Amino acid sequence: MENTDLERPIFRFKMPVVGTMRLGQWGEKFSTQLYLDFIKACLDLGITDFDHADIYGHYTTESEFGSALKLVPSLRTKMRLITKCGIKMVSPNRPDHRIKSYDSSAEHIKMSVDNSLKNLNTDYIDLLLIHRPDLLMDAQEIADCFSALKLSGKVRYFGVSNFTPSQFELLDSLFPMVTNQVEASPLHLNPFHDGCFDQCQMLGIQAMIWSPFAGRELFQESSNENVVRIKTTAEGLCTKYDCSLDQLVLAWLSQHPSRPVPVLGTSKIERIEKAIKAQSILLTREDWYILYTAATGIELA
């Protein structure tokens, strides 16, 4: 049954989001002090949103980040913590997981939230996302679970990640979602065509974009003709707008009227500074379509 009693809360992104996946064991292997220095540098730049998932670093990155917050607890009030749950990954830290699977049961969500609260050294999560659409997802069960978590004060806002528009609509009909975190880049155009960005614009919400640079494939030497075509086309646009390729891509993505926000997977503060500056780049409509045409390799009908 559709829940018409709950109004959609307002949750807006004004700056790029910093992804934490590569800060710990899956990447830079930051020490506690390096985490703290990185967090402070981001906050000094006006970046306040940090994107986590329980599985990152084989279930260790949240606690590493939380250890840094424990050193300076006042930093918690200056940020919004986002985390995801629902993937059960085979890991030495989860020896009872026999196979990678998805679990969106209320029991698993509540357990994951309690673990994240403890690991992040906080008493509330700003935004909780279901990480992947569970084929056994019971939308009413999730909605009831979200209602209980909100009432308890453990989670303030809710969303999903990698959901199709119909999957999003199903859950959103029972409990209001504030975002859908999806993959988008010049090499992955699905959200432009599958209704995701249209849905966001219709509902007045912003999508979060993971892998905006296609896993850095756009910056590597490649024989992929799509990559070559995009980079060749981008050269002239970068010259025109006096920007780098990464800034051009971010400006191009964020120019969609739904105003999607990128999740930056970098640990380099200088790259985050460049991403912030990219917000001021406004492409002409024709230039936007020049890059889009390079991305598709097909002239518009």
Give the residue numbers marked as catalytic: 56
Q: What are phi and psi of 140, to 5 degrees?
A: -65, -40
**How far is the C-alpha of 31 from the C-alpha of 28, rounded, in Å?**
9
Tokens of 41: 């540098």
CB hemisphere CA count around 197 (13 angstroms): 18
Residue with tokens 């960005």: 197
CB hemisphere CA count around 14 (13 angstroms): 7
Residue with tokens 């540098």: 41
**How far is the C-alpha of 300 from the C-alpha of 35, rounded, in Å?**
46
**295 closest CA partner among 228, 206, 199:** 228
Q: Could you tell me the sign of the dihedral formed by the alpha carbons of 245, 247, 253, 257, in that order?
A: negative
**How far is the C-alpha of 251 from the C-alpha of 287, rounded, in Å?**
11
**How far is the C-alpha of 223 from the C-alpha of 238, rounded, in Å?**
21
Tokens of 98: 């026999």
Contact 102, 80 (CB under 8 A): no
Contact 70, 33 (CB under 8 A): no
Please give, one letter per residue, the 3-state secondary structure of 4-17.
Answer: CCCCCCCCCCCCCE
Strand partners, 128: 83, 158
